[in-house]
Structure 1
Amino acid sequence: MSTTSEPHELSYRALAMLRAVQAGRAQMSCSREPDLYIDGVPCCDQFSAHVLTHDGLIAGAQGLFGQLVAATLTPAGHAALASVAVAA
């Protein structure tokens, strides 16, 4: 979870990353600072991947340190995408 009181504002890139996770196209490494992979390719913006993880919008399945596991949206991640859809 984020250590700040307010979640970060989501950029278009972060929203695209959330949509890729929602579509089942993403994996993440088991780590304190997990790296995100989309379609098997390392994401170009690992900082945003870390923010999405620390803000509690995405999570990975349990695994061994460094192992790639499926990335999933948390309830907060689903809510973030829903709020963007409503605003559009």
Structure 2
Amino acid sequence: MKLLTILSLTTAASAWTFTFSGGVRDGKGNKGCTGITHSKGQTFEWDRAFLSDCCIHLYDDNHCGNEVGFSCSDWKKTSSRDLYSFKVTNC
């Protein structure tokens, strides 16, 4: 019962978190196109809550027109290009 309570609190706080060189964005559901500034060579990270199906889409323009990355799994990477927008789907 204690584990279930902890998992519920974790999911309630945030279903996903995207950390990038310009800051942190988090949410509980889908998120439409959102502008960011993330420089090539900087570390960025995508984390989802336990049992979450959220996916992130990454773009090298500021209007989510040119997708350059997509993931539903958690990860931490160094960017191979500048990123200027993202969106979250499947939550």
Q: If the length of structure 2 is used for normalisation, what is the TM-score?
A: 0.24
Q: Which has the higher helix share?
A: 1
Q: If the length of structure 1 is used for normalisation, what is the TM-score?
A: 0.25
